[in-house]
Amino acid sequence: MTVRVRFAPSPTGYLHIGGARTALYNYLFAKATGGVFVLRIEDTDLERSNAEYEKLQIDDLKWLGITHDEGPDKPNQKYAPYRQSERADIYQKYALELIAKGLAYYDFCTDEELEAMKEKAALEGRDPIYEGKWKDVAFYQEACERISKGEKAAIRFRVPKKSYTLEDKVKGTVVYPENMVGDFVIVRSNGLPVYNFCCVIDDHLMEITHVIRGEDHLNNTVRQLMIYEALGAKTPEFAHVSLLIGHDRQKLSKRHGATSVNLYRNEHYLPEAMCNYLCLLGWSHPTERDIFDKTDIVEVFSLDRFSASPAMYDLEKLKWVNSEHIKKMNNASLIKLIEKEPETEFFRTQDTEWKMSCVELMKKYANFVTDFPKLVNELILNEHPEKTDAFKEILAWETTPKIMAFISQEVEKKSSDFITENELNNWIDQVKKNLGVKGKPLFQGVRAALTGHDHGPDLKFLIPLTPVSVLKNRIVHLRK
């Protein structure tokens, strides 16, 4: 039996970090088992759903490299359509079937009646469980007549009086007691079916074998178990992954800041890093590796390494993972990415050799691709570096002004575009011999004279990357 998994987002907003994580787990599981990854759109809530969001979410998924085998954007597929809004007749058919079997019934209650029931229940300290006004099979004939006359009614599922047990891949055995839920609506009075109903029918019809989704669905599952049973359908395996939480330990949501994938995409985070980090929240590598890409992980991915407790989404660690992926990346690809960044004219117009050594040097300090232009501007192109206290302190050493005078004189003499590492070493040697400076005063002095900073990348790599024209202007600025 081939594994078939699905990711089923509602197109009611941007792709969320948490959604991306569940999608990733499904994708990984499909790849690891040679299975099929299905994308299904759960857009039965017409008021909140929006086709634009569907497209945006698919784009974000694609950006992350989480590609589906089946979905609404692919033609001629066996299980189509993949949008719930296009499957209304299917749900209708099954709902009618359940009514015919007495497993569901029409409910003519008005919103006001329902509201009154809820208030009464709240007052009595009970759960607002539907009392079953139209539950009696004796109403069946009457209900059918009213419906055939065009009257509107919701369809409710008749909840069996028994408890249910789920063997969850992550949570273990979960027991849902009898009376946990009241008869619930499966089709709204406007004719549109409801999530718990569609979901089961689709998973059944699409032959989904494993449902990997967020823990927020764990309580829902009992309703779904009931429907599988009523349908006489085989239940898939379930894996309820723990939720992502924010710093306040609440379920991650918009108010925690950057929680949509497109924000990270816009900031040019590396998609591989994003997946790497997301994968690690709630799942652990069998050999405790923490930097990997999808191809590595597919070989070892399994459902038995999930943590059962929620995981806090932490930007600091994401940052680190991203920086590790930058270091891992080859320089040529990195250069391509950097050149797509704004304000990189100078970078783009240099020769390959320059770019290669620049990237090689800067990647040690960059956490994000967007750091490269910043680094280049700050470290290489800045002609007017801020004279920090640390710089002024170095300037106050008695040897520093002498070093500056010498360096300035040497730089002034240069007519080439760049100075070489050898030339730099030469200057350092001369300062050492002629001025008798060595050790910390020497290097700090030379660094201060050339860069205006008290720290930074190795001078022998940094200075040969800096245009002589910049050096000249910078030194004038620094000596003032």
Partner RNA sequence: GCUCCCAUCGUCUAGCCCGGUCUAGGACAUCGCCUUUUCACGGCGGUAACAGGGGUUCGAAUCCCCUUGGGAGUACCA
Q: Does 161 bind RNA (CB under 7 A)?
A: no
Q: How many CB atoms lie within 10 A of CB 409?
A: 10
- Among the listed residues 55, 101, 120, 254, the single catalytic one is 254
Contacting RNA within 362-401 (CB under 7 A)? 364-365, 378-379
Instruction: Specify the long-range contacts of residues 416-424, CB closer than 8 Å, at least 24 apart.
Output: 416/468, 417/467, 417/468, 417/469, 418/464, 418/465, 418/466, 418/467, 418/468, 419/463, 419/464, 419/468, 419/471, 420/464, 421/460, 421/461, 421/463, 421/464, 424/459, 424/460, 424/463, 424/464
The answer to whether 367 and 324 have CB atoms below 8 angstroms apart is no
Q: Does 26 bind RNA (CB under 7 A)?
A: no
The answer to whether the Cα torsion of 251, 56, 206, 99 is positive or negative is positive
C-beta of 34 vs 421, nearer to RNA: 421
* Burial class (CB within 10 angstroms; exposed 0-12, middle 13-18, buried 19+) of 450: buried
- Rounded alpha-carbon distances, angstroms, from residue 471 to 48, 189, 450: 58, 75, 7
How far apart, in whole angstroms, are the C-alpha atoms of residue 173 and residue 167?
Answer: 5
Query: What are the two backbone dihedrals, phi and then psi, of residue 153, each rounded to the nearest 5 degrees?
Result: -155, 150
* Burial class (CB within 10 angstroms; exposed 0-12, middle 13-18, buried 19+) of 320: middle
- Residue 88: CB minimum distance to RNA, A: 12
Q: Does 110 bind RNA (CB under 7 A)?
A: yes
C-beta of 93 vs 305, nearer to RNA: 305
Q: 36: closest CA among 208, 285, 182?
A: 208
Q: Does 174 bind RNA (CB under 7 A)?
A: yes
Q: Read off the DSSP letter of residue 283.
A: B
C-beta of 140 vs 320, nearer to RNA: 320
Q: Does 180 bind RNA (CB under 7 A)?
A: yes
How far apart, in whole angstroms, are the C-alpha atoms of residue 250 and residue 248?
Answer: 5
Q: How many CB atoms lie within 10 A of CB 123?
A: 8
Instruction: List the one residue from 288, 345, 389, 398 that touches RNA (CB under 7 A).
Output: 288
C-beta of 1 vs 341, nearer to RNA: 341
- Residue 2: CB minimum distance to RNA, A: 25
Contacting RNA within 141-160 (CB under 7 A)? 153-154
How far apart, in whole angstroms, are the C-alpha atoms of residue 324 and residue 327?
Answer: 5
Q: Does 65 bind RNA (CB under 7 A)?
A: no
Q: Does 172 bind RNA (CB under 7 A)?
A: yes
Question: Could you tell me which residues come within 8 angstroms of residue 433 by beta carbon, excluding any fewer than 6 positions away?
Answer: none
- Residue 25: CB minimum distance to RNA, A: 12
Q: Does 2 bind RNA (CB under 7 A)?
A: no
The answer to whether 118 and 128 have CB atoms below 8 angstroms apart is yes
Contact segment (CB under 7 A) with RNA among 25-33, 124-132, 142-150, 225-233 equals 124-132
Contact segment (CB under 7 A) with RNA among 88-96, 135-143, 173-181, 412-420 equals 173-181
- Rounded alpha-carbon distances, angstroms, from residue 209 to 5, 136, 234, 374, 418: 6, 36, 9, 48, 63
Q: Does 48 bind RNA (CB under 7 A)?
A: yes
**336 catalytically annotated:** no
Instruction: List the one residue from 30, 280, 334, 475 that touches RNA (CB under 7 A).
Output: 280
User: What is the H or E stretch that residue 318 is in?
Assistant: helix 315-328
Structure tokens at 148: 């055939």
Q: Does 359 bind RNA (CB under 7 A)?
A: no
Contact segment (CB under 7 A) with RNA among 55-63, 121-129, 265-273, 346-354 equals 121-129
* Burial class (CB within 10 angstroms; exposed 0-12, middle 13-18, buried 19+) of 418: middle
- Residue 116: CB minimum distance to RNA, A: 13
- Residue 106: CB minimum distance to RNA, A: 10
Q: Read off the DSSP letter of residue 167.
A: E
Instruction: List the one residue from 160, 177, 257, 436 that touches RNA (CB under 7 A).
Output: 177
C-beta of 44 vs 260, nearer to RNA: 44
Max Cα–Cα distance, the chain, nearest Å: 110
Instruction: List the one residue from 70, 107, 203, 272 that touches RNA (CB under 7 A).
Output: 107
Q: Does 10 bind RNA (CB under 7 A)?
A: yes
- Residue 19: CB minimum distance to RNA, A: 10
How far apart, in whole angstroms, are the C-alpha atoms of residue 252 and residue 96?
Answer: 39
Contacting RNA within 405-464 (CB under 7 A)? 425, 428-429, 432, 438-440, 442-444, 447, 453, 455-460
Contacting RNA within 300-319 (CB under 7 A)? 305, 307-312, 314, 316-317, 319
- Rounded alpha-carbon distances, angstroms, from residue 341 to 11, 23, 147, 383: 30, 29, 62, 21
Q: Does 328 bind RNA (CB under 7 A)?
A: no
Q: Does 360 bind RNA (CB under 7 A)?
A: no
Contacting RNA within 28-47 (CB under 7 A)? 42, 44-45
Instruction: List the one residue from 135, 146, 217, 387 that touches RNA (CB under 7 A).
Output: 217
C-beta of 304 vs 351, nearer to RNA: 304
C-beta of 342 vs 439, nearer to RNA: 439
C-beta of 219 vs 352, nearer to RNA: 219
Contact segment (CB under 7 A) with RNA among 58-66, 184-192, 204-212, 268-276 equals 184-192
3-state secondary structure of 354: helix
C-beta of 67 vs 219, nearer to RNA: 219
Which residues have a catalytic role annotated?
A: 254
